Amino acid sequence: MSDFDSEKSKKKQNWVLWGSVGAIVFFFVIILLSTGRRNQPNSDPEKGVNISDINASVANNISDKEVWIQQSAQKFDDVQNQVNDIKSQLSAQNKLESDTQSYNQQQFTKIMAALEDIKRAPAPDTPLAAIMPKGKGGEGTGLPPLSEESAILMPDEPDIVSVKLSSESAESTATTGKTAQNAANKPKNTQTYLPTSFVKAKVITSIDAPCGGTAQDNPFPILLNITDSAQLPNGVRTKIKGCFVLAAGYGDVASERAYFRTEKISCVMKNGDVIDMKMEGYIVGEDGKAGLRGRLVSKEGRQVALALLSGTVGGLATAFANQATTLQQTSVGTNQYVNPSQSMGFAAANGVSGGFNQLAQYYINLAEKTFPVIEITDQRNVTIVNTQGIEFPVNVNQDYQKINSLPISVN
């Protein structure tokens, strides 16, 4: 019985195994068939294109190879069109260059022909009537017949007349220039002209000439009174005594002198005529040197001293404030703590320190804006050197308006 049961169980297992294998094979065949139908083309190459599938999609009837071939053909056509466009552009450019070169060659030929005609023209001493044109082509001018190329460049009669006028204008301009030069070189009279010379004068107004900042760009004015006649070359003298001269100058720390340049001269004649003209020159001091020696006054020392005092007081206040603090070393660094019992003193010391430090900075800025000056007093005898000639409108050697003989002073 046991053998029969075991044999029967084995048969059942074999049937189950074969049944499972058959089911698997059956399902696999069904899957392959369904996949084959899905991938089957819609057209048969022997029977032609299936008309019923045309309306569904045209793309399903075209393979990837055919699409690639069509795209490649389109790209090739585009490239060919671009190449043709480039060739046409190059040909147009070459034609333009050829035309330009031909035009330049023609112009060069015309210019050379015109130069040859000019070389064959009559000498400059030929009378003007002999070379005036009576017609085109050089007829009646004594010149050889002109070629067509040279005739194009030759001016007509109005142009020749304009050239003549230009020459006359050039001659008149040259004549005017020579006349102006002769007028400039013409000798002048000492009665109305003051050449390079010097004259004695006296300072009327005093001045504190600044030595820094924009003093040279904005000089300070000073007024002088001429006390004698001007000394001209060769011992000649011109009567300008009593005239006023306005000058402007600035100070120099290195030489402790103030330098002045003259600006105007003013005179009043006896008949009431007034002369107020520009005068270029400089002032020489009593020692014969340019400029006037004066006393150097420096006022920034007081500001520097006050800045030093304010900085010292601020530093002492900072020291008192540091005494009310304690330094403690921690893992993150050194920290400063204020002792609770000395907090009021710390606050007061900090306030005093900040205030005096600001005050010190204020005095420093004030000292930077303060410049030394050169003090020049009035009633000093100086010499004015005139560096540029002056053309007076009237005779300055006639009697001028008498001026008070008392010394002039502005106080």
CATH of the domain at 384: 2.40.128.260
Mean pLDDT of 180-189: 67
Return the SS3 of 394.
coil
Distance CA 226, CA 265 (A): 10
Do 216 and 250 contact (CB within 8 A), yes or no? yes
Q: Output the CA–CA distances (angstroms, integers) from residue 201 to 190, 224, 234, 290, in the order listed.
A: 20, 6, 21, 14
Domain-embedded: residue 110: yes
Work out the percent of the chain whose per-residue pLDDT is above 70: 71
Is residue 300 over pLDDT 60?
yes
Whether residue 363 sits in one domain with residue 378: no
Q: What pLDDT is recorded for position 45?
A: 43
State the residue range of the domain holding 305.
300-324+344-368
Instruction: For strands 197-203 and 381-386, give the pairing.
Output: antiparallel
Whether residue 290 sits in one domain with residue 150: no
Q: What pLDDT is recorded for position 407?
A: 44
Mean pLDDT of 185-206: 88
The one-character DSSP state at 379 is: S
Q: Pull the structure tokens for residue 3.
A: 């053998």
Whether residue 205 sits in one domain with residue 128: no
Q: What pLDDT is recorded for position 326?
A: 76
User: What is the Cα gyration radius of the chain?
Assistant: 57
Q: What pLDDT is recorded for position 201?
A: 95
Whether residue 308 sits in one domain with residue 232: no
Highest averaged pLDDT of the listed ranges 27-41, 170-184, 191-205, 326-340: 191-205
Residue 249 backbone dihedrals phi, psi, to 5 degrees: -160, -175
Whether residue 356 sits in one domain with residue 287: no
Whether residue 243 sits in one domain with residue 144: no
Is residue 125 over pLDDT 70?
no
Domain-embedded: residue 198: yes
Q: What pLDDT is recorded for position 227?
A: 94
Closest-CA residue to 399 (of 211, 267, 293)? 267
Whether residue 218 sits in one domain with residue 250: yes
Q: How far apart are the first and last CA of the chain?
A: 162
Residue 409 backbone dihedrals phi, psi, to 5 degrees: -150, 140
Whether residue 207 sits in one domain with residue 276: yes
Place of tokens 């000093």: 380
Domain-embedded: residue 65: no
Mean pLDDT of 123-151: 50
Residues with Cβ within 8 Å of 156's Cβ and at least 6 positions away in sequence, in order, are: none
Whether residue 362 sits in one domain with residue 253: no
Whether residue 314 sits in one domain with residue 203: no
Domain-embedded: residue 89: no
Q: Output the CA–CA distances (angstroms, integers) from residue 165 to 54, 162, 173, in the order listed.
A: 94, 5, 12
Give the range among 236-250, 322-336, 356-370 with minimum mean pLDDT: 322-336
Residues with Cβ within 8 Å of 349's Cβ and at least 6 positions away in sequence, in order, are: 317, 318, 320, 321, 324
Question: How many domains is the chain partitioned into structurally?
Answer: 3
Domain-embedded: residue 38: no
Higher pLDDT, 272 or 14: 272
pLDDT in tens, 218-255: 899 999 999 999 999 988 898 889 999 999 999 998 88
Per DSSP, the residues of 345-356 read HHHHHHHHHHHH
Is residue 257 over pLDDT 80?
yes
pLDDT in tens, 45-100: 444 444 444 444 444 555 677 778 888 888 888 888 888 888 888 888 888 888 88
Q: Which residues pair with 259 in a beta bridge?
A: 250
Mean pLDDT of 325-332: 74
Work out the percent of the chain whose per-residue pLDDT is above 90: 19
Do 391 and 317 contact (CB within 8 A), yes or no? no
Higher pLDDT, 267 or 23: 267
Q: What pLDDT is recorded for position 35?
A: 58
Place of tokens 């270029």: 280
Q: What pLDDT is recorded for position 75?
A: 84
How many CB atoms lie under 10 A from the CB of residue 138?
A: 18
Whether residue 386 sits in one domain with residue 363: no
Whether residue 151 sits in one domain with residue 200: no
Segment (H or E) for 249: strand 244-252
Domain-embedded: residue 212: yes
Do 378 and 409 contact (CB within 8 A), yes or no? yes
Q: What pLDDT is recorded for position 176?
A: 63
Domain boundary among 163, 181, 211: 163
Is residue 315 over pLDDT 80?
yes
Is residue 403 over pLDDT 80?
no
Place of tokens 């006359």: 168
Distance CA 147, CA 136 (A): 11
Domain-embedded: residue 87: no
pTM for the structure as a whole = 0.46
Q: What band does 186 get if pLDDT is binned at 50, 70 and 90?
A: confident
Q: How much is the mean pLDDT over the chain?
A: 75
Domain-embedded: residue 176: no
